[in-house]
Every structure is written in C-alpha cells, then in structure tokens.
Structure 1
Amino acid sequence: METVLAQKIKNIIFDYGNVIFEINFINAQKALLQLGIPDIESFFGHKGHDNIFSELETGAITAAKFRDGIRNAANNPGLMDEEIDAAWNGLLIGVPENVHEVLLSIKDKYRTFLLSNTNEIHYNYILDYLKRTYQVANNDHLFEKAYYSQLMLLRKPNVEIFETVIKENNLVPEETLFIDDSPQHLVGAKQAGLHTLLMDKHPRELGQFLKEHNLI
C-alpha cells in the first residue's frame, strides 16, 4: 500500500484468525484424523473441505448437527461431544500479548471492525479463552463493532457479507481497508469496492505489519 493510499483510509476491517488470533490448521487436521476420519485432505484440507464446515460457519446447521457429521465421517457413533469439540478447537492457539494494545491504539485513528468466519463451537471457546487470559468478556471493546459469520448467516468471501458491514455502518468503500490472511477472502472484499491487504506475518507482528503499510 502506498503512503498516499494509506492517508485516504478512514476505516479498517480486520479478519480474526491469523491476523489477531493465532490458529494452526495442522493441529485441527491431526486431531480430526485421530478421531478416525479417513482421507483428511479432502475432508478438511488446504485446497478444500467438506461442506459441513461452511454450514457450521453460516449457522446453516447447529453444533449438534456438526458433531453428528463428524461421527458419521469417522464412522464412530460413540464419539463424545467433548472429544469432537477438543479436536475442532485444536485449531485455536490464542492472541499474542501485544495485539489487543495495537488494536486499541489505532481505534483513535480509524473506525475499526472485526469480520470473522467462525462458528458456535470456536466462538464459545474464544470467549472462554478471552475471559481466562485477558479478563475481558469478548472482543467488543477492541472495535466499533464485531461481526461473526455464524450470526450473520454469511461467510467470506461472499460479497454480501462485506456489503452488509459497509451498509450497516455507512462506510465509504474507497476509504475502507480489509485485512485478511486468506487471499480468496480478499477477492470478495475487492468486489465490494474495498481496499485490501494480505496479512503475511504472524499475529504477534500486527503492529509491525501496520507500520510497514504506513497505517500507524
């Protein structure tokens, strides 16, 4: 991003996973494999995944239906809810120590928003994690508003999810930046007229990333 462009930005929409909250895809993949799910690359792989994950992220199915889907995929009806949740939550690592401070500091300069593809099981785990680790109830204090896919019944990169955030907050797309670690999500953001940046650093380096792009 050029300095001139950065000067035009008044609003920043942040993704959550691997921008703010560290996640590890391989951890979840290994844990699901250990539950007995065969052909893990097609079920939950880098290039694609079973539709059950998208359905959970858009609230199309309940957490209970998701767990039943995992039992079916593992061909193991005896799997306990807790076992399934633990495997699925293996994806989640945590928020590096300095990241909340970075987000709070830039809130004075920009209107900031969170837009995350997540799901009921991960959302509940994250809320518990934030209470245990940072003594905060949620992410609301860090942003003007936080948006989660399972509550919006939409997920990125669907252009409608970006248009919803723009419309609800009267944002000017040309003055709005979206930051995500997934290139495919940037496509939908661009279709909505947003500026985009691909997060190519570890979440602990969020402050440095913003400095490099002349945003702070």
Structure 2
Amino acid sequence: MIKNIIFDMGNVLLQYDPGVCLHHFVEQEEDRALIRRELFEGPEWVEGDLGHITDEERFDGVSRRVPERLHGELKACTEQWHMCMRPVAGAKEFCGYAKEQGYRLFVLSNASSSFYQYFQRFAPLDYFDGIVVSCDIHMIKPDVRIYQYLLDKYQLMPEESFFIDDMPGNVAGAQKAGIRGAVFHGDFEKIRKSLE
C-alpha cells in the first residue's frame, strides 16, 4: 500500500520554463537560442544542481562562451531565471487531496541552492514531510543513490512510496531503487488513479 508520495519540483509542482526569462531579457531569437544552450543546457547548470558552484558562479563559466555584447542579458537570466517558477495548475489542489487521504508528502529535486527562495511560491517548506535538494548532497537524479538517500533519511519503505516526475529517466531511476512511479504530463487525475 502506498503511504508516501515523492514529488519532483520542476514541471510537477512549479513550472520550469527558461523561455519566460529569455523572452523577457533577450530581444533577438538567435541570442535567446545561444543563451538557452550555454546557460540552461550547459555544464554549469548541472554543476549548480550538484552544489559545486553557486548560481552567481554559473555566470563566470557561461560568460566565456557568450559574446560580451550579451553579458548584460546573460547576467539577468542567470540571476532572475526563476521568475518563471509558478505553481503548476492543479498541483496545490492535488497536494491538499493527498494530505487529506493521509499520504505523507516529500520533494526530491535537482536544483541549486536558490530552490529555498523560489520554492516558497508553492508552499512553505514545512508543508512537506521531507525535502531533499540535490545541491545539498551533491547527487542528482537519476542516480539511484539520491532516491536511496531520501528513503534512508526519512526511513521510508520503497514499496510504500510513489514518485512523480516529468522526466522518464528520473522515474526509471526511482524504479531502480524499488519505488513505483509515474511520468507526469500535466494530469493529476491520472496520478490519482495510479495511486488507487
């Protein structure tokens, strides 16, 4: 029987769309594509999620691959990218429903330390029974060790836990740790049925 629901954060609880800040700060489409590739898809993004560099230090590495004329826009995107983070439709209602049903709620997120500022847009940290953020433990999904870390930290049984993520690879990682899961495509009703 499922007792614990483990949520990914990005695109499950909070929308993650770099296009929001790219369109806000960068005028030309080709410049947006460049900054998207070098900042949001570059190695510094993963290094930040691993907790090896700060959000501010991301700029230093990426700026070496971006023309100086775009450094102002790049800095704005580096510092304010989380302007896009707004609650996913239906997420708060689903969490409320799950709490009413007696499930314990957890968050397992690949994120840098700025998680602790913007996540409050969804709910206070203590709304959840536990939170593990990759930057704090220097591991990221889908590494099976991060799921095991969460299970051990909160003394959860994998067979009593259910993981929700928008990335199929991350759900596969959870399954390697013995945790059932579902890939989230925006339909909380489907998730609700998966728990039955």
TM-score over 0.5 for the alignment? yes
Per-residue CA distance 1:30-67 (angstroms, 9 max, x = gap):
5687595774575367xxx3211110011111222112
**1:22 and 2:42 are equivalent in the alignment:** no
Which of 116, 120, 126 lines up with 1:140 in the alignment?
Answer: 126
What is the identity, as a one-letter code, of the residue corresponding to 2:55? A
Find the counterpart in structure 2 of residue 124 from structure 1. Answer: 117
**Normalization by structure 1: what TM-score?**
0.74
Check if 1:175 corresponds to 2:156.
Answer: no
- The residue type equivalent to 1:140 in the other structure is D
TM-score (norm 2): 0.80
Consecutive unaligned residues in structure 1, runs of 5 or more: 1-7, 131-135
Instruction: Give distance in 2, aligned partners of 1:175 and 1:89.
Output: 33
Q: Is the 8 A contact 1:70 1:84 kept in 2?
A: no
Question: 1:28: how far off?
Answer: 5.2
Deviation at 1:125, TM superposition (A): 3.3
- Separation (CA, whole Å) in 1 of partners of 2:113 and 2:7: 20
**Aligned residues: CA RMSD:** 2.9
Query: Paired residue for 2:94?
Result: 102
**Would the alpha carbon gap of residues 89 and 96 (structure 1) be closer, same or farther in structure 2, given more than 3 Å must change?**
closer
- Structure 1 SS opposite 2:72: coil
The residue aligned with 1:68 is 60
Aligned residues: 191
For 1:1-216, list aligned pairs within 5 A.
8-27=1-20, 36=31, 39=34, 42-43=37-38, 49-76=41-68, 79=72, 81-82=75-76, 84-86=78-80, 88-90=81-83, 92-96=84-88, 98-108=90-100, 109-127=102-120, 129-130=121-122, 138-141=124-127, 143-201=128-186, 205-206=187-188, 208-215=189-196
Secondary structure at 2:65 match in 1: helix
CA–CA distance in structure 2, aligned partners of residues 50 and 97 of structure 1: 29
Identity of aligned residues (%): 25
C-alpha displacement of 1:107: 2.3
**AA at the equivalent of 1:99:** A
- Give the direction of change, closer, same or farther, for the CA distance of 1:99–1:171 in structure 2 (3 Å limit): same
C-alpha separation in 1, matches of 2:35 and 2:76? 20
Check conservation: 2:35, 2:66, Cα contact below 8 A.
no
Q: Secondary structure at the match of 1:125?
A: helix
Measure the CA separation in 2 of the matches of 1:32 and 1:74.
15
